[in-house]
């Protein structure tokens, strides 16, 4: 019997959401409480209400309606979206203060609606899905003591194995309500024997994977920096303790949002687990008057019964096809040369032209002019906010430089940092109140700059107008949109005191509006977003920019870890990765050109070095890197990515593999990190092939069954010297 993606059983009051390999169930139970039953493998027709067992655990109170029944407690029930002040003492999903100062929210089930197609959110990116691709379930809950209506939104993508969550909160009454916390989702597990995997980091060292078993109490990953941050990515995995790349249960949660976030997990008295994810409640409040609505951003959830590898494939497929803007899906990207590590601020139009010209000679497609081309930007002390070309540096102006570079047959790209202002700028002198700043206090600087208050429309418009003038005047096909500090002094001169808790979120909405406006006006523009590298590498930014600069760390060896961590949620086509000079500017390390090429071409390839200063042999290698990248680009963009080694455990070699969806082709690439005298035999097992089919090694001509490649493995070459590149390519032989 064919199963509908969303079913509601009127008799048992159970909702079942099913995808090809996963199922999600919840039930309307006693006193209209919406209880979470199950998320995991697709278990067919069985309804799992039997999993809910009421127990009197003492010190866990009971709702009034439960009368003398001490076994029914909000404190011990797995819930779908928990309120506050209602006897549930665990971390919760929503909090609000009513006009009378009370803070209780007791949410009861009211109604539901199922429809074809995927819901959309107002002013925030979210996955898209047509009527054939996705269905939406809306469940309406209402607070028992007020007119607050909470609609839980579920987007079900049956073929993708993805379920999305979001929440819409509406004040249907006449009294004001102040929302203090509104998480996008909650998930209660009946067990706690789970590992927590998350990705922490810092500037130039993003996405460091960490894994630990859950323990009693609350742990969380979060950002309070106004952006998703280098310091923790808005992505978390819970998995069975034995889960690895190929086996075990994994649950992934990815927040489509670019501001403050929190993913908090609590293991409670009964060894059950609750996870909530959404906007961080830190300095957050939202005043809802009569009829006003607040929407919480989307969380994309995926479940895999086949380990972390499959979990990543689900996210990659989902984001490639349903989040990245349509025209960039499976679209080849220009290979770029960026002048930042070549010149920093020290350039003129001739230097730039020469960089572009050498790039063209090597076969590159796009020249990107980075920081320093505008206002009085001689260093990072000044100029931000004045998006007018500095003709002292670029004589003849931008249109002339762009024209000359276009005449070489090269596209032109430009760096901007629209959300910032330098105190030494015309913008700041004219509008000192447009930056974030708390009246009566000195602002806190970071990289000598202040945040513009882009929650304000006039500020956004002023900046965009300048950018539009630049874009109208020259043929610019790529923009690198940067953001080089965390938010500080978060306060908007345009809002009254009681609304200052909205500024963090309004800033993010303002950012999305700017990006929408830019892309509406220039739909073919390729955007690469950036925040000092990977400080805003999140799914929402991916919606606007199909590639994101992964890290300011361009050292190939360090990049292996950064790109490894990034690959858990994000496709390799999203990771801006450049070949840079050696000794590397961040670490001083030297690695062969080919190795730098292998690592950078495991992402969206670019170059960031003076190509006229490298040796003739290195120039040949650059051409080879480029040629090989072009040959494998489609495979990289559309295939399944496998992490063959974990660089946090294996210090000897790092390997990854990409297999085409039809299993006819695969590449295995990586770096032999440490050279050994008299080396051991090192065999590596491939993944994702058809065991009974024959595959040929393109270099040696040798043939293997897919089974042999996956079970007997292939020999890694013996090389000399550290950081040696390794690569294989196998093609299926059609019998």
Phi, psi values for residue 125, rounded to 5°:
-65, 150
**Is residue 549 involved in binding ligand GLA (CB under 6 A)?**
yes
Binding segment toward ligand GLA, per CB under 6 A, in 28-36, 253-261, 314-322, 528-536:
528-536
Q: How far is the CB of 535 from ligand GLA (least distance, A)?
A: 8
Nearest partner of 376 among 362, 386, 363, 364, judged by Cα: 386
**Is residue 533 involved in binding ligand GLA (CB under 6 A)?**
yes
**Residue 291: exposure state from Cβ atoms within 10 A (0-12, 13-18, ≥19):** exposed
Give the C-alpha separation, 574 to 568, whole Å.
12
What secondary structure, in 3-state letters, does 626-682 show?
HHHHHHHHHHHHHCEEEECCCCCCCCCEEEEEEECCCCCEEEEEEEECCCCCCCCCC
Q: How far is the CB of 468 from ligand GLA (least distance, A)?
A: 21
CB 235 within 8 A of CB 197: no
* Binding-site member from 133, 482, 538, 594 for ligand GLA (CB under 6 A): 482
* Binding-site member from 75, 95, 245, 370 for ligand GLA (CB under 6 A): 370
**Is residue 340 involved in binding ligand GLA (CB under 6 A)?**
yes
Binding segment toward ligand GLA, per CB under 6 A, in 136-144, 526-534, 641-649, 721-729:
526-534
Helix (H, G, I), strand (E, B) or coil at 376: coil
Q: How far is the CB of 339 from ligand GLA (least distance, A)?
A: 10
Question: What sign does the dihedral 549-554-560-561 (CA atoms) show?
Answer: negative
**Is residue 532 involved in binding ligand GLA (CB under 6 A)?**
yes
**Is residue 88 involved in binding ligand GLA (CB under 6 A)?**
no
**Is residue 484 involved in binding ligand GLA (CB under 6 A)?**
yes
Q: How far is the CB of 501 from ligand GLA (least distance, A)?
A: 30
Residue 110 among the catalytic residues? no
CB 105 within 8 A of CB 85: yes
CB 527 within 8 A of CB 520: no
**Is residue 371 involved in binding ligand GLA (CB under 6 A)?**
yes
Q: What is the DSSP letter of 397?
A: H
Give the C-alpha separation, 217 to 579, whole Å.
44
Binding segment toward ligand GLA, per CB under 6 A, in 218-226, 452-460, 486-494, 530-538:
530-538
Whose tokens are 């002292």? That residue is 392
CB 724 within 8 A of CB 595: yes
DSSP string, 74-131: TTTS-BSS--BSSS--S--SEEEEETTS---B-EEEEEEEEEES----SSS------T
Number of residues that bind ligand GLA (CB under 6 A): 11
Q: Please calculate the CA angle 571-575-580 and round it to the nearest 5 degrees.
A: 150
Q: Which residues contact 211 (CB under 8 A, 6 or more apart)?
A: 195, 196, 197
Compute and round to an integer the Cα radius of gyration of the chain. Answer: 27
**Is residue 164 involved in binding ligand GLA (CB under 6 A)?**
no
**Residue 333: exposure state from Cβ atoms within 10 A (0-12, 13-18, ≥19):** buried
**Is residue 243 involved in binding ligand GLA (CB under 6 A)?**
no
Q: How far is the CB of 484 from ligand GLA (least distance, A)?
A: 5
Q: How far is the CB of 209 from ligand GLA (least distance, A)?
A: 22
| Nearest to ligand GLA of 485, 732 (CB atom) | 485
* Binding-site member from 112, 261, 387, 415 for ligand GLA (CB under 6 A): 415
Question: What sign does the dihedral 357-359-363-366 (CA atoms) show?
Answer: negative
Nearest partner of 636 among 595, 672, 669, judged by Cα: 669
Nearest partner of 94 among 172, 220, 178, 27, judged by Cα: 178
Q: How far is the CB of 346 from ligand GLA (least distance, A)?
A: 13
Extract the tokens encoding 734.
């059609």
Binding segment toward ligand GLA, per CB under 6 A, in 181-189, 386-394, 527-535, 720-728:
527-535
| Nearest to ligand GLA of 158, 603 (CB atom) | 603
**Residue 524: exposure state from Cβ atoms within 10 A (0-12, 13-18, ≥19):** exposed
| Nearest to ligand GLA of 204, 689 (CB atom) | 204
* Binding-site member from 133, 552, 558, 618 for ligand GLA (CB under 6 A): 552
Q: How far is the CB of 420 from ligand GLA (least distance, A)?
A: 10
Q: How far is the CB of 379 from ligand GLA (least distance, A)?
A: 10
Residue 618 among the catalytic residues? yes
Binding segment toward ligand GLA, per CB under 6 A, in 59-67, 429-437, 525-533, 688-696:
525-533
| Nearest to ligand GLA of 112, 415 (CB atom) | 415
**Is residue 530 involved in binding ligand GLA (CB under 6 A)?**
yes
**Residue 734: exposure state from Cβ atoms within 10 A (0-12, 13-18, ≥19):** exposed
Q: How far is the CB of 261 from ligand GLA (least distance, A)?
A: 21
Report the DSSP pairing between strands 177-189 and 94-98.
Answer: antiparallel
Q: How far is the CB of 532 from ligand GLA (least distance, A)?
A: 4
| Nearest to ligand GLA of 328, 415 (CB atom) | 415
CB 507 within 8 A of CB 483: no
Residues 102-131 close enough to bind ligand GLA by CB under 6 A: none
| Nearest to ligand GLA of 402, 548 (CB atom) | 548
Q: Residue with the closest Cβ to ligand GLA?
A: 371
What secondary structure, in 3-state letters, does 231-283 show?
CEEEEEEEECCCCCCCCECEEEEEEECCCCEEEEEEECCCCCEEEEEEECCCC
**Residue 219: exposure state from Cβ atoms within 10 A (0-12, 13-18, ≥19):** middle
538, 555, 594, 665: the active-site residue: 538
371, 608, 618, 669: the active-site residue: 618
Catalytic residues: 538, 618
Return residues touching ligand GLA (CB under 6 A).
340, 370-371, 415, 482, 484, 530, 532-533, 549, 552
């Amino acid at each position: 019997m064919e199963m509908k993606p969303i079913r509601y059983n009127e008799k048992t009051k159970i909702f079942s959401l099913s995808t090809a390999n996963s199922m999600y169930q919840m039930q309307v139970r006693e006193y209209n409480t919406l209880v979470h039953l199950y998320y995991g493998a697709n278990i067919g027709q069985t309804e799992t209400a039997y999993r809910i067992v009421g127990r009197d655990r003492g010190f866990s109170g009971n709702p009034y309606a439960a009368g003398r029944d001490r076994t029914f407690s909000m404190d011990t029930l797995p819930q779908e979206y928990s309120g506050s002040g209602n006897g549930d003492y665990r971390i919760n999903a929503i909090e609000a203060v009513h006009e009378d100062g009370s803070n209780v929210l007791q949410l009861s089930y009211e109604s539901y609606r199922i429809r074809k197609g995927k819901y959309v959110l107002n002013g925030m990116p979210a996955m898209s899905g047509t009527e054939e691709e996705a269905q939406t379930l809306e469940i309406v809950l209402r607070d028992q003591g007020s007119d607050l209506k909470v609609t839980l939104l579920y987007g079900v993508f049956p073929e993708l194995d993805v379920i999305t969550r979001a929440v819409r909160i509406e004040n249907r009454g006449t009294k004001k309500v102040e929302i203090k916390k509104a998480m996008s989702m909650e998930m209660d597990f009946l067990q706690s024997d789970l590992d927590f995997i998350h990705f922490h980091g810092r500037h130039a060292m993003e996405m460091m994977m960490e894994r630990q078993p859950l323990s009693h109490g609350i742990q969380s990953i979060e950002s309070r920096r106004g952006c998703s941050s280098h310091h923790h990515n808005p992505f978390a995995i819970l998995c069975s303790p034995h889960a690895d790349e190929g086996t075990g249960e994994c649950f992934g949660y990815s927040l489509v949002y670019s501001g403050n976030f929190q993913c908090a997990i609590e293991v409670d008295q009964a060894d059950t687990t609750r996870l909530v994810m959404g906007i961080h409640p830190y300095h957050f409040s939202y005043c809802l008057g009569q009829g006003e609505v607040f929407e919480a951003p989307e969380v994309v959830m995926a479940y895999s019964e086949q380990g972390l590898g499959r979990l990543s494939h689900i996210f990659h497929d989902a984001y490639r096809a349903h989040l990245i803007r349509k025209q960039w899906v499976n679209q080849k990207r220009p290979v770029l040369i960026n002048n930042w590590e070549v010149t920093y601020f020290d350039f003129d139009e001739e230097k730039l032209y020469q960089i572009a010209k050498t790039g063209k000679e090597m076969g590159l497609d796009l020249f990107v002019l980075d920081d320093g081309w505008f206002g009085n930007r001689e260093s990072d002390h000044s100029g931000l906010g004045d998006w007018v070309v500095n003709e002292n540096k670029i004589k003849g102006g931008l249109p002339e430089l762009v024209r000359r570079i276009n005449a070489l047959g090269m596209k032109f790209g430009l760096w901007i940092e629209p959300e910032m202002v330098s105190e030494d700028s015309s913008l700041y002198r004219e509008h000192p109140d447009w930056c974030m700043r708390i009246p009566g206090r000195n602002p806190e600087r970071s990289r000598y700059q202040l945040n513009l208050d882009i929650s304000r429309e006039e500020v956004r418009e002023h900046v965009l107008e300048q950018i539009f003038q630049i874009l109208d005047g020259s043929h610019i096909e790529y923009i690198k949109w940067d953001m080089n500090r965390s938010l500080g002094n978060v306060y908007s001169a345009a809002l009254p005191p009681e609304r200052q808790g909205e500024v963090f979120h309004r800033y993010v909405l303002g950012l999305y509006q700017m990006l929408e406006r830019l892309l509406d006006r220039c739909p073919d523009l390729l955007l690469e977003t950036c925040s000092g590298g990977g400080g805003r590498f999140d799914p929402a930014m991916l919606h606007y920019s199909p590639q994101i600069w992964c890290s300011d760390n361009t050292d190939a060896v360090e990049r292996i870890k950064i790109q490894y961590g990034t690959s858990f949620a994000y496709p390799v086509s999203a990771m801006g990765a450049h070949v840079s000079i050696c000794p590397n500017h961040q670490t001083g390390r030297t690695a062969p050109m080919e190795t730098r090429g292998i690592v950078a071409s495991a992402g969206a390839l670019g170059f960031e070095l003076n190509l006229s200063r490298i040796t003739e042999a290195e120039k040949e290698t650059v051409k080879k890197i480029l040629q090989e990248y072009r040959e494998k680009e489609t495979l990289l963009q559309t295939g399944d990515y496998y992490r063959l080694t974990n660089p946090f455990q294996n210090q000897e070699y790092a390997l990854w593999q990409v297999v085409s969806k039809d299993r006819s082709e695969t590449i295995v690439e990586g770096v032999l990190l440490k050279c050994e005298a008299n080396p051991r035999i090192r065999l590596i097992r491939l993944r994702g092939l058809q065991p009974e089919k024959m595959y040929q090694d393109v270099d040696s001509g040798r043939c293997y069954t897919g089974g042999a490649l996956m079970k007997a493995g292939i020999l890694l070459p013996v090389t000399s010297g550290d950081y040696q590149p390794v690569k294989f390519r196998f093609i299926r032989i059609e019998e």
